[in-house]
Amino acid sequence: MSGPGGPTQSFSEAPASTPCAFLDGGEHDTDHHNTGFMLDGYLVMPLVPEWGDGVISVFDFSDACAPKALHHERALAIRETHATGVSTHAGRHMVVAHLQGLSFWDMSEVTRPARVADLVLPGVFYPDAYARVVMSLFWQAPYVYVAGSDNGLYVVDATDPANPTLVTQYRFEVPLRAGGIFAVGNLLVVTAAEGSRVALLDISDPAAPQPIPGGTFEVTDEAGVPRDVYHSHVNGDKLLFARKGGGGGLIIYDIKDPSRPTYLGGNSPPHSNGGYVYLKDDRAFVGDSSFASVFDIKDPARVTLEHTFYLQSVDPPKESPGDLDTLLPIGNVVIASSDENNRSQEHPSGDVADRASQVFAMDAAPDTLGPIVTMVNPPDGAQGVARTSRVGITLSEFVELGSVFAGSFHVVKQGCQGPLQGHYSGQEGILSFWPKEPLEANTTYEVVVPAGGIIDVNGNPTRAAFRASFTTGE
């Protein structure tokens, strides 16, 4: 890594009840924060409200309680960033939501993000803040899959990030306000924003998504009652939902068989109202609006609440300042972020002025545990796999994309030694490999992640070797 990497300090109090630091984006930061990610040893945070006009901030986060702001790049037209895709297939780029579609940025020098191109998508119209905007995206290089709210799903070819093109627009037969979107190999997961519907799609032909029979369903709670969700997360053959309204919290589904999704468990703390959910090892991190929840999910049938975090307001103190929608785990700390500052005539600076992202200790000791592979698609042992397939894996935590290459994650034709050539991309613990050439017919391929190859944001390598195989059809 070029940068210093993730947090390295120890804490006497963990989990902490008060923040040890605040992250601020400088003069153009409107205190409407969302998520972020580590790239090449730096923390990157697009600090942008839903109406645009914010900044992309880069921090040295190795001392999480004394983060150093390295650069704030003005970003006029990107909007609230619910997800960020990163690819190394044509240099190093990221893609984020734009007021009219997508915005691509050159991240070859992480501390100096540079806008490359914007792509206007048909039907995208802000300020229609939920109905006709880009809610989320997933970059499975070279294609970007875009959740376009009531506009459905867009597929964009970003082989050349400077000249992205729209390939197709997919509209759901059963209404679904597309909010969350995740691609793992040939599986595309689309979840509703403020709704209960989910669609699991087959993208073995990447430009022509097809519904999986039985894969469109309603999210329910333990009693079988449909529950709205706000956002979601895919990992380990499981789909995690941030439950919204009527008690927030967490709902977990098993999607190992995408034609038969099944309810596993959940937990709904009083007065919660879900925003976003992330996973690290055996914990789920959920922003619940008035607070944020950390759940132990080792046994998905018995989800337990481990800890609750609360934001700290500026003077005067307020019980539940801002809108705490995001709790991002990095190493042994979490970043709790508010996407609403609640300015008023009485408090013109707002509840969380210069404090929209707050750093809390989660564990006493620095993170020394490396990631493990938790899911692969095509699944191990799959037969008749399409020759146009991509290979996706999920890991137990966010990883450093710079450590992902043909030596640390490779697909090998059975009986051959050299790995296939192709493109790598990553997002939120999901890694994708797109073969440069179509796979051969009636051939078995092995997916290999050797021990000690891929590293997490603290430089901890994969704990154990992983192997799986699949066989193509005609």
Q: Are 59 and 52 a contacting pair, CB within 8 Å?
A: no
At 349 the pLDDT is 82
350 vs 241, residue with greater confidence: 241
pLDDT score at 215: 96
Q: What is the pLDDT of residues 318-372, one digit of tens each?
A: 888 889 999 999 999 999 999 998 887 777 788 999 999 999 999 999 999 999 9
Q: How many CB atoms lie within 10 A of CB 68?
A: 12
Q: What average pLDDT does the structure give for the chain?
A: 95
Q: Supply the pLDDT for residue 315.
A: 76
**Does the pLDDT value for residue 129 go beyond 80?**
no
Tell me the per-residue pLDDT of 60-111, one tens digit each, with 9 for 90 and over.
Answer: 999 999 999 999 999 988 999 899 999 998 899 999 999 999 999 999 999 9
Domain ranges of the chain: 21-361, 373-472
**Considering only CA atoms, which of 260, 247, 189, 255 is closest in space to residue 221?**
247
The C-alpha atoms of residue 209 and residue 171 are separated, in whole angstroms, by: 10
DSSP per-residue letters across 98-110: ETTEEEEEE-SST
**Length of the chain, in residues:** 474
Q: How many CB atoms lie within 10 A of CB 378?
A: 26
Residue tagged 């704030």 (tokens):
72
Rounded mean pLDDT, 235-264: 95
The sign of the CA dihedral 319, 321, 327, 332 is: negative
* Inter-residue contact 29 to 356 (CB < 8 Å): yes
3-class DSSP state for residue 132?
Answer: coil
Pairing mode, if any, of strands 382-385 and 422-427?
A: unpaired
* Least confident window among 159-173, 226-240, 275-289, 311-325: 311-325
Largest CA distance in the chain: 72
The model's confidence at residue 246, banded by pLDDT at 50, 70 and 90, is confident
pLDDT at position 344, please?
Answer: 76
pLDDT tier at 282, thresholds 50, 70, 90:
very high
3-state SS, 317-348, equals CCCCCCCEEEEEEECCEEEEEECCCCCCCCCC
pLDDT at 275: 93
Q: Which residues contact 29 (CB under 8 A, 6 or more apart)?
A: 47, 54, 55, 57, 72, 354, 356
Cβ proximity of 238 and 266 under 8 Å: no
CA distance 52 to 364: 37
Kindly report the backbone phi and psi dihedral angles of residue 458, in degrees, each rounded to the nearest multiple of 5, phi listed first.
-100, 5
Q: What is the pLDDT of residue 247?
A: 80
Q: Is 313 exposed, middle or buried (0-12, 13-18, 19+ CB in 10 A)?
A: buried
pLDDT value at 196 more than 90: yes
Q: Fold for domain 373-472?
A: Immunoglobulin-like (2.60.40)
The pLDDT, as a whole number, for residue 343 is 81
Provide DSSP, 194-249. Answer: SB-EEEEEE-SSTTS-EEEEEEEEE-B-TTS-B--EEEEEEETTEEEEEE-SSS-S
* CATH class entry, domain 21-361: mainly beta
Residue 445 has a pLDDT of: 98
Residue 347 pLDDT: 75
With a cut of 80, say whether residue 37 has pLDDT above it. yes
Query: CA–CA separation, 31 vs 36, rounded Å?
Result: 14
Report whether the peptide linkage leading into residue 127 is cis, meaning its omega lies within 30 degrees of zero: yes
- Assess whether pLDDT exceeds 90 at residue 316: no
What's the pLDDT at 346? 73
Report residue 194 as tokens. 């403020």
